[in-house]
Every structure is written in C-alpha cells, then in structure tokens.
Amino acid sequence: MFNYAQAILDLHTLLQREYWKSDRLKDFQNERLRSVIKYAYDFVPFYHKKFRLLGLKPSDFKSKEDLRKLPVLSKSEIRQNVKEMVSTEFDLNDLRMLSTSGSTGSPLFLYINGRENMFRKAKHLRANFACGQKPLDKWVTIIAPHHFGEASKFQRSLGLFTPTPISVFTETSAQVSLIERLQPDILDGYSSSLFVLAKELEKNDVSTIRPKSVIGGAELIDSNSREFIEKIFQTSFYDQYSSVEMERMSWQCCVRDQYHIDSDALIMEFVDKNGEEVSSGERGEIVCTSLFNYAMPFFRYAIGDVGIPSDEMCSCGRSLPLMKTVEGRKDSLLVLPDGRSLTPRAFTIAMNMFKYYSFIEQFRVVQNKIDLFEFSLVLKKESIGKDVVEAEFVKHLKKVFCHDQMRFDIKFVDSIPLDKNGKFKVAVSNLKQRR
C-alpha cells in the first residue's frame, strides 16, 4: 500500500533542505551517517564482518571524514556478497529487487524496502521541481517498458506527477505521433533517445511539440547535442545524474550550469587512484555512501564514473553542494537496418527484460554488419543450459526490437576482454559507415 502522506512529507522536507545553511546540512549528513553505520554494524552481516576485520566500531564514525577508514566498495565485491549485504531484519522475498542496466557489461542486483522506494520517488520529484515541473503538468517520459507500471491507479486518477510512458523501443516516428497528441509540459527520457527524437523532428520539419522543459539522464550528453535538442524543442534542456543504486544523485536547476548533489541523501566523494579525495576542479572517481538505504546499505561505493567536484555556490540560492560535470562512459549510437538509431543502453535494457537475465554474468554486443549483431555471453556457474538460453534469447531480441531483418549471433564465452585502453565497452559498432 503506497503511503501518500509519507511521500508528500518526504518531498516537503527534501524541498526545505535544499536551502538549509551549509553547517546545518553537514550536521544532518553526519547524523544520518552515524545512524546507518550503526544499523549496518548491528544487522548487516557483510558490514559487521568487515568492520570487525578492520578493527572498527560504529563509534569510530562521527563525521563523513571518517568514511576514509573504509576501503572503496566495488561492484564485483557486491556481486559476490549480495545476500550478506541485506539486513537480517528483512526477508529477501519481501523486498523489491532492482537491477542495474548492465552498462559495464555485468548487471548488479540490489534490494530496497517500501519506505526506501517512496523516498527515492520523492527525491526524483525534487530534481524535477528544480526544472520547473508542477504537480499537474502533463508529463511524458521515454523509458524502458519495465518501468511502465510504477505509477499507481490512484495516482493516475488524480493526475498528480503521473508520467505517460513511451517505450524506448518504439519506432521514432511513432514516438513523434504520440507526443504530438499528448502535448506534454514536461518531456524526459534517456538523453540520447531525446537526441534521436529531436533529429526525427528536424528531418520531418515538425514544430508542434513545445514542452516547457526537457529533462535528460542515464547517459552523458555533449554540449552540441544539448544545444541541438534545445533548438528543436525551443526550450531548456536539464541534465540529471542518477544510478539504480542511489536514484537521483545530482541535477541541474534553472541556472543550468553545474549540478546540485543530493547531499542530504548521500555522501559523494571524488577520489584518486589511492582512494583520497581530489581537490575542487580536479577529476576523481565518484564514490557514494547512501544515507537512506537500510535494507541494503552502500558505503563508499564506486559507481563507475568520473566527475569533477566544485566548491562554488549556485546563484539559485540552494545550498546543496555542486559538481561541475560527470565524465563517465559516453555511448555512441548503433544504427538498425530500418534506419533507427539506438544507444548501447537500449541493448542493456533489452538484456534487463530477458527472463533469464539473472543467469548472465556479463555480456557484450558487437555490430559487425548493418543487420548482424554478435552477442557474447558469460553465464554464471549455476546457469541453465546454453541451448535454452540461446533459443529464448533470440526470440526475446526479435520481439523487443520488432525487426525481421536483424540477425543475432550468440556466443558463449568464459570472459570478455577489455579494449586497448583497458576499458570495457558493452556495445561496439564495427561499421565503417554510419547512416
């Protein structure tokens, strides 16, 4: 049962904390940190064991600076200890399981409780408020199909903060027709999907879609693409930085310069290769500590992106600290036989929707020809048979992409190598010419 009173209270307090003085915000952060640290020590086997091995107790953590006593937490460490990282106060079957999109080629599964899920939604709305969204605005979002059912019937009946979803897999011209009919005040989605949509509008000289705000996220977007989207829609584009593990983490306000960090809900560090914090204006790996995850806490978790912190203050008046930019993985578009352009993220979403996704340790897709996509799959040891996975996987891909001309070559491998720069790319195009 969704607690609407609690959701409204969460949103109200989040909006208030945006303008707290820095000292008050820091005190609140430290108080929340002490609370979640003590809870993890008492109820989470993974952290109780880790703290004991390091000779640490909850009393050793008085402020966020004390987090440096802990090593950085990697995705691989989480994968190896998922059940041990869940609080003993919860039954795994009663929690909501989430999975990352697998943008690094290896999905990550995590668990949240109902209270945390509510807070995540409120945090999402706060970021959208900063872009000018109002409770009754018509809201259209281009997302993965498995997010379609997130708004309740009661929420839809009231029309409050209720997005109308459009599948990222829907053919672009059909997306245009739907959005023209809906005439949204707020249009949001994956940044590259919004870019592809804008290209379609330009191609067909469509000028009838004029939202008051366009909100992008999930992928990096360069300044030229941002300017192009703004030119086509004749409105401002707002970028948001988020992850499945933490939900919204930082976002642009009406000033649209730097990114406000949700420091009342998480502690974001920018660290060098030795785990030490970098100075303002320097690049560092983004490491996050959640202040609201109790079912499955995260301390000093390496998201996998690189960002630049800032010690400046925003002219909008919000006191939340800033980051200059995120310099994470930048995806390129893959072109389908019918001319559709999809980002590598579309393929990771397709993987996420596959019924045997939990048996896949890692994957990569390589486009060798305009109609030929090679999938390399690393199966987990406890996986079902390869024949079953291959047969079901090909059927799944054909259904998702709705394209008879697409061919899929499935290969099962023991490991997937890094590229020549020592990085992993989940999607690679070997096409010499792009449409």
CATH number at residue 257: 3.40.50.12780
- Percent of the chain exceeding pLDDT 70 equals 89
Stronger pLDDT, 225 or 26, i.e. the higher one: 26
Burial class of residue 428 in the structure, from the number of CB atoms within 10 Å of its CB (0-12 exposed, 13-18 middle, 19+ buried): middle
Q: What is the CA radius of gyration of the chain?
A: 22
Nearest to 267 by CA among 297, 296, 290: 290
Judging by DSSP bridges, how do beta strands 266-271 and 334-335 pair with one another? unpaired
d(CA 345, CA 144): 10
User: Is residue 321 domain-shared with residue 351, that is, in the same domain?
Assistant: no
User: Is residue 108 domain-shared with residue 55, that is, in the same domain?
Assistant: yes
- Does residue 47 fall inside a structural domain? yes
Handedness of CA 218, 87, 275, 106 (dihedral sign): negative
User: Is residue 233 domain-shared with residue 142, that is, in the same domain?
Assistant: yes
Q: What is the DSSP letter of 433?
A: S
- Does residue 292 fall inside a structural domain? yes
Per mean pLDDT, which range of 206-215, 222-231, 278-287, 336-345 is the poorest? 336-345
- Does residue 152 fall inside a structural domain? yes
User: Is residue 168 domain-shared with residue 256, that is, in the same domain?
Assistant: no
Local confidence band at 330 (pLDDT 50, 70, 90 cut-offs): very low
CATH number at residue 214: 3.40.50.980
d(CA 210, CA 417): 45
User: Is residue 105 domain-shared with residue 142, that is, in the same domain?
Assistant: no
Nearest to 51 by CA among 34, 290, 42: 42
| Contacts for 391 with CB less than 8 Å, ≥ 6 apart | none
d(CA 360, CA 362): 6
The pLDDT value recorded for residue 288 is 96
User: Is residue 343 domain-shared with residue 283, that is, in the same domain?
Assistant: no
- Does residue 125 fall inside a structural domain? no
Q: Mean pLDDT across the stretch 329-341?
A: 67
User: Is residue 202 domain-shared with residue 303, that is, in the same domain?
Assistant: no
User: Is residue 408 domain-shared with residue 265, that is, in the same domain?
Assistant: no
The pLDDT value recorded for residue 359 is 87
Of 326, 344, 373, which one is at a domain's C-terminal end?
A: 326
Summarised one tens digit per residue, pLDDT across range 87-128 is: 999 999 999 999 886 656 677 889 999 999 989 989 999 999
Handedness of CA 70, 73, 77, 81 (dihedral sign): positive
- Does residue 126 fall inside a structural domain? no
Summarised one tens digit per residue, pLDDT across range 383-397 is: 788 999 999 999 999
Of 242, 261, 292, which one is at a domain's C-terminal end?
A: 242
| Contacts for 31 with CB less than 8 Å, ≥ 6 apart | none
Summarised one tens digit per residue, pLDDT across range 342-372 is: 767 678 778 888 999 888 888 889 999 999 9
Main-chain dihedrals φ then ψ at residue 421, nearest 5 degrees: -95, 5
The pLDDT value recorded for residue 104 is 60
Helix (H, G, I), strand (E, B) or coil at 175: helix
The pLDDT value recorded for residue 434 is 40
- Percent of the chain exceeding pLDDT 90 equals 58
- Does residue 123 fall inside a structural domain? no
Sheet holding 407-412, edge to edge: 407-412, 372-379, 360-369, 427-429
H/E element holding 390? Answer: helix 386-401
- Does residue 435 fall inside a structural domain? no
Q: Which amino acid is at 268?
A: M
Helices (H) and strands (E) in the chain, counts: 11, 19
User: Is residue 238 domain-shared with residue 265, that is, in the same domain?
Assistant: no
Cα separation of the two ends of the chain:
49
- Give the residue numbers spanning the domain of 107: 4-117+252-326
Stronger pLDDT, 335 or 328, i.e. the higher one: 335
User: Is residue 44 domain-shared with residue 142, that is, in the same domain?
Assistant: no
Mutual orientation of helices 45-54 and 22-43 as an angle, nearest 10°? 100
Helix then strand then coil, % of the chain, to nearest 5: 35, 25, 40
Angle at 78 between CA 72 and CA 82, to 5 degrees: 145
- Does residue 124 fall inside a structural domain? no
User: Is residue 269 domain-shared with residue 222, that is, in the same domain?
Assistant: no
Q: Has residue 329 got a pLDDT over 60? A: no
CATH number at residue 410: 3.30.300.30
Of 326, 346, 377, which one is at a domain's C-terminal end?
A: 326
User: Is residue 141 domain-shared with residue 235, that is, in the same domain?
Assistant: yes
The pLDDT value recorded for residue 236 is 95
Sheet holding 266-271, edge to edge: 163-167, 139-143, 186-190, 213-217, 236-243, 247-251, 259-261, 322-326, 301-310, 284-290, 266-271
d(CA 92, CA 397): 30
Q: Mean pLDDT across the stretch 69-79?
A: 93
Local confidence band at 279 (pLDDT 50, 70, 90 cut-offs): very high
Q: Number of structural domains, the chain?
A: 3
